[in-house]
Amino acid sequence: MPTVTALRHPGLNAPSGIIAAAGDVWFTNIGDDRIGRVRSGRIELFGAEPGVIRFPANIFPAADGRVWCTSLGSDALVAIDPDSADPTSTITSYALPAGSRPVALKAAPDGRLWFSLRGADAIGSIDPCAPDPAASLRLITDDGIAAPAALFVTGDGRPWWVNAASIGSADPLTGHVTTIGSLPATPRAWTRGDDGTLWLTAREPAGLLSFDPERPTGTMRLFTHPELVEPDGICTGADGQLWLVDTAADRIVSVAADQASEPGAWSFLSSPDIRGPFDIKPGPDPHVMWFTNKRGNTLGALTAKP
């Protein structure tokens, strides 16, 4: 049976995105404009001058060795050096177009960082290793990009994102956009299964969407479960299981990808230490899932191995 341990700190305020990077766990503290780290079981928080980081949302390690996050409220990407003795002193902001409201970001195999710009109806990318990363900015705009949010990059470097009512993807070289509409549910967050299938948490109805990125319209499937309420963050664990949070139900949920059609194969874990879970990812130890409790103002560590 998995066990859950909560990590508390008086400075935690609506922790949101979370990721394993540089041997530690990094997260965004969206409620007070700071970036956080868990090292040796201790929470550290790093802030910048007022206005530099505002509403940090998603977070991801980049090819330049730094950890990057989107700054939703200051229209910027922010990077921090995890190897510095004083990470706060390394916080650097890279401005994006005014009003662009960056939300999600992920690294591609070629090292570029891709991100969704909700306010600009655009998808962007930069080279974090460039002498001036901001100068490497590329933007993709198209009628098929509408309020993009959650984003994922497949092994071929192709960005995928969630629109207000559809899924979009773009050719990373040409910028050509493909949109998939008429979905059986409203998509939320992404992960990739071990076989390359893309999975999304979904609502209305609550469940999981899956499809082959090579043949999305012909392989789209919806899996529901009567106990699901509001699925959000999702990841694939070292055990091959899909792990997701059920925000409104205060639960962590798991199911094997090849058994999602079988209600009895789903597992639901409740605990007083799961309160408003939002994002979930494997930690430096891939058998330990880390999640943010956005409402509970804590971080959670779920040990999944026997």
What letters, b where the CB count within 10 A reaches 16 and e where it falls short, cover 91-117?
Answer: bbbbebeeebbbbbbbbbeeebbbbbb
* pTM of the full structure: 0.96
Name the superfamily (CATH) of residues 3-303. YVTN repeat-like/Quinoprotein amine dehydrogenase (2.130.10.10)
Interatomic CA distance for residues 260 and 262, integer angstroms: 5
Q: What is the model's pLDDT at position 2?
A: 84
**Which DSSP state fits 184?**
S
First to last CA, the chain: 7
SS3 content of the chain, % helix, strand, coil (to 5): 5, 50, 45
| Backbone angles phi and psi of 119, in degrees to 5 | -75, -20
pLDDT, one tens digit per residue, over 133-157 is 999 999 999 999 999 999 999 999 9
pLDDT values of the chain reduced to their tens digit, one per residue, 306 residues: 789 999 999 999 999 999 999 999 999 999 999 999 999 999 999 999 999 999 999 999 999 999 999 999 999 999 999 999 999 999 999 999 999 999 999 999 999 999 999 999 999 999 999 999 999 999 999 999 999 999 999 999 999 999 988 999 999 999 999 999 999 999 999 999 999 999 999 999 999 999 999 999 899 999 999 999 999 999 999 989 999 999 999 999 999 999 999 999 999 999 999 999 999 999 999 999 999 999 999 999 999 765
Interatomic CA distance for residues 115 and 211, integer angstroms: 22
Interatomic CA distance for residues 90 and 160, integer angstroms: 30
Identify whether the C-beta of residue 274 lies closer than 8 Å to the C-beta of residue 251. yes
